[in-house]
């Protein structure tokens, strides 16, 4: 895995956009007045850009898999964060969804484990990715968690992804229905070895 940079950013956004286009949790952020593909692209661009600022955006060597993985205490410059959030509102969710999104994020924080951890915001691969890309990302994540002696935390709303995370060695430590919808979220963690 290598860090996503200006040259690989568009590839990373495309991988995430295609992987999450039908994800119920991610779709909650999208403004129905914006074409779904365009809004999802903006959402994934926001995630990639924020992770790059947090020094936690990675792409596999074959450029088929991405991993957005950063320390739970990572900070971002106020003005950079303000710029990214403004772009997110204008290009992805619209002003009407800002308050529900803020409520959702506040709720999600109460469900996440306390203390220091590595947060896996996105782990996604494209259709060309073979097992090698995903295994590379898994090894990279686990090596980082072990080296820093920190658990890795992930969330998913898809039961098939929950099974994959558990197959990789994650344990489910909680679940909930997201406020104002019927989307179930699972919270998973992998302890360092």
Q: What is the CATH number of the domain that holds 76?
A: 3.40.630.30
In this predicted structure, what is the pLDDT of residue 103?
A: 86
Integer Cα distance of 151 and 145 in angstroms: 6
Helix axis angle for 78-88 and 36-53, nearest 10°, is: 170
Up-side HSE of residue 25: CA atoms within 13 Å toward CB?
Answer: 20
In this predicted structure, what is the pLDDT of residue 183?
A: 87
Taking residue 139's Cβ as centre, other Cβ atoms within 10 Å add up to 11
In this predicted structure, what is the pLDDT of residue 171?
A: 96
In this predicted structure, what is the pLDDT of residue 140?
A: 95
The domain total for the chain is 1
Domain containing 129 equals 2-190
Integer Cα distance of 181 and 175 in angstroms: 14
User: Structure pTM?
Assistant: 0.89
In this predicted structure, what is the pLDDT of residue 46?
A: 96
Note whether 13 and 52 are within 8 A (CB).
no
Two structure tokens written together for 130? 């073979």
- The torsion angles phi and psi of 32, rounded to 5 degrees, stand at -65, -15
In this predicted structure, what is the pLDDT of residue 141?
A: 94
Burial of 43 (0-12, 13-18, 19+ CB in 10 A): buried
In this predicted structure, what is the pLDDT of residue 109?
A: 86
Q: Give the CA diameter of the chain.
A: 47
DSSP assignment of 121-150 equals EEEEE-TT--HHHHHHHHHHHHHHHHHHT-
Integer Cα distance of 6 and 151 in angstroms: 29
pLDDT per residue, tens digit, the chain (193 aa), is 999 999 999 999 999 999 998 888 888 888 888 999 999 999 999 999 999 999 999 999 999 999 999 999 999 999 999 999 999 999 999 898 898 888 888 888 888 888 999 999 989 988 776 778 888 999 999 999 999 999 999 999 999 989 989 998 999 999 988 877 788 999 999 999 9
């Amino acid at each position: 895995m290598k860090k996503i940079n200006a040259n690989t950013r568009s590839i990373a956004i495309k991988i995430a956009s295609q992987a999450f286009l039908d994800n119920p949790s991610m779709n909650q952020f999208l403004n129905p007045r914006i074409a779904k593909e365009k809004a999802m692209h903006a959402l994934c661009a926001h995630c990639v850009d924020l992770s790059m600022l947090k020094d936690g955006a990675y792409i596999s060597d074959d450029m088929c898999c991405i991993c957005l993985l950063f320390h739970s205490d990572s900070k971002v410059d106020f003005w950079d964060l303000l710029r990214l959030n403004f772009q997110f509102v204008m290009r992805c969710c619209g002003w009407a969804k800002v308050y529900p999104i803020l409520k959702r994020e506040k709720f999600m924080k109460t469900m996440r484990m306390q203390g220091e951890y590595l947060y896996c915001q996105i782990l996604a691969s494209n259709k060309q990715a073979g097992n090698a890309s995903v295994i590379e990302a898994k090894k990279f994540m686990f090596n980082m968690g072990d080296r820093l002696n920190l658990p890795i935390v992930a969330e998913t709303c898809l039961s098939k992804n929950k099974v994959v995370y558990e197959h990789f060695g994650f344990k489910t430590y909680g679940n909930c229905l997201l406020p104002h919808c019927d989307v179930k979220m699972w919270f998973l963690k992998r302890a360092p070895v």
